[in-house]
Amino acid sequence: MNNHTEDWILILDFGSQYTQLIARRIRELNVYCEIHPYNTSPESFNDDPPKGIVLSGGPSSVYDEDAPLLNLDYLDFNVPVLGICYGLQSLAHTIHPGSVEKAEKREFGRATLIVDKGEDLLHNIDERSAVWMSHGDHIHSLPDSYEVIAHTANAPVAAVRHKKKQIFGVQFHPEVAHTDEGQQIFLNFVDTICKCSREWTAASFIETQVRLVREQVGKEKVLCALSGGVDSTVVATLLHKAIGDQLQCIFVDNGLLRKNEFQQVLTTYEEQLNLPVKGVDASKEFLDNLDGVFDPEEKRKIIGNTFIEVFDREVSDNKSYKFLAQGTLYPDVIESVSFKGPSATIKSHHNVGGLPEKMNLELVEPVRELFKDEVRNVGRELGIPESFISRHPFPGPGLGIRVIGKLSPDRLNLLREVDHIFIESLREYDLYDQVWQALAVLLPVQSVGVMGDERTYEFTAALRAVTSRDGMTADWAHLPYDFLSEVSNKIINEVRGINRVVYDVSSKPPSTIEWE
């Protein structure tokens, strides 16, 4: 259990692709919540019981051989329970086996919810409301102690409640945007039914984390590797507020940053945020190690190993550090303890993968409970400039994975100029904040062009911009044609070595946001 002072909701994960969305919806209501695998022992929450429990959806049928089933000991907490889709079926099946069956008509997509009893969970919900269904099984017969509170044309049991206890269930997914009044349902559950205090805010988070960091660190010194991104900057600013001069930040120029980025970011750190930061120009070392490397995984490995060597060398004269600060986020934590058991370990691309072991350091991860947008809110509360907070995500390996194929200083400089024109043009046209992430890619493709009376044989640049909430899924940004035309002309006219510009119109999935 993480330390927090507020009322909280426990989300038991039965494997739904939407489980993280449930957490985001509840947190948007200023209520703290945590996701744990469905088979977590209820006893682990005895010291800090939740104010309510949500059972997520899941891909299984309750009749599958290895179907994840609800541990009925969770009902002994005597707190309100909300089962969503599979969570409801698991509830009905476990309490009264045989009450779930294959639906004659499966429901996937929009449906109209018809409210039969518009109080408690369905208070303030329209009598007819659009909801998102995604199920092949449905409730056939309810235990005697339950009653139906809503239905759809195909599902006679779309929402239920216990006649005496505060146990509720819905067959649809209130957490997805396609359910029009889903947030009202969550508000009814956490506020009216669970009576949560709704005091979990960026300010309360900072206050709690400052206390926890001081308790963890004591008088010891803490190292923080800054990447120039939002996560590490928020971590450093939060730690500086907590422990002041016990913090030492290191910002390494790996030669893979954007145009003028190292100096601009360093100035922001020193002059605006007053962080104790040491800038290290190791660009030659990185580029020498990467020279001619083609494979993207090999690039990542070399960049990670070189970073560890540089970082270790910069602090090797001072063995007094006991802690290393890292910008691990909540999706990484959830991924490492998925409901099917531990998945791949927490991603190592936070710049510092391998450092704790090598340097025998203990980790400080003050934002490991937060989603990306929550980190940004904490940053705003800490006074970090909005221009920094709203920066697009930028990968740890930087432009190294945006030069497709062989790396060289010349190719990096070509990409740097293209990227600069694209990003600055987005700002100029007030489009920057409308996209989640924008980037330029240098392709290992040369093609024939004509400039004046001369034929050219030069490189192709690909531009990519996506819209997204959290980077887990993304759609290509429908930027205006006039804008793309102008940017293309500017790149071809001003960047010697580029004679063709293309725009990437693929979404995630099936494509990824980055090309490598």
Q: Which residues contact 177 (CB under 8 A, 6 or more apart)?
A: none
The DSSP 8-state label assigned to residue 398 in this structure reads: G
Structure tokens at 190: 């956490």
Tell me how far apart the alpha carbons of residues 84 and 174 are, in angstroms, rounded to a whole number: 8
Which one of the listed residues 6, 34, 107, 175 is annotated catalytic?
175
CA angle 360, 362, 363 (to 5 degrees): 130
**Is 85 among the catalytic positions?**
yes
Which residues contact residue 208 at a Cβ distance below 8 angstroms, ignoring those fewer than 6 apart? 3, 4, 5
The DSSP result for 88-110, as a single string, is: HHHHHHHHSTT-EEEEEEEEEEE
Structure tokens of 411? 């190719």
Q: Is 249 a catalytic residue?
A: no
Query: DSSP labels for 259-297?
Result: TTHHHHHHHIIIIIS---EEEEE-HHHHHHHHTT---HH
Which amino acid, residue 387?
S
Furthest CA-CA distance within the chain: 86
The answer to whether the bond into 342 is cis (omega within 30° of 0) is no
The torsion region of residue 311 among left (phi > 0), alpha (psi -120 to 50) and beta comes to alpha
* CA torsion through residues 243, 247, 253, 254, sign: negative
3-state SS assignment for residue 218: coil
CB 167: neighbour CB atoms within 10 A?
Answer: 21
Residues 6+ apart with CB under 8 A from 133: 107, 108, 109, 110, 111, 152, 155, 171, 172, 173
Residue 490 and residue 425 in contact, taking contact as beta carbons nearer than 8 Å: yes
Q: Which residue has the tokens 């691990």?
A: 328
CA distance 404 to 509: 20
The runs of H, that is alpha helices, within 367-480 are 372-381, 386-389, 409-428
Smallest CA-to-CA distance from 213 within 350, 205, 30 is with 205
Active-site choice (36, 138, 162, 173): 173
CB–CB of 476/485 below 8 Å?
Answer: no
Q: Terminal CA-to-CA distance of the chain, rounded, Å?
A: 36
Do 226 and 236 touch, CB atoms closer than 8 A? yes
- Catalytic pick among 34, 36, 85, 162: 85
Catalytically active residues are: 85, 173, 175
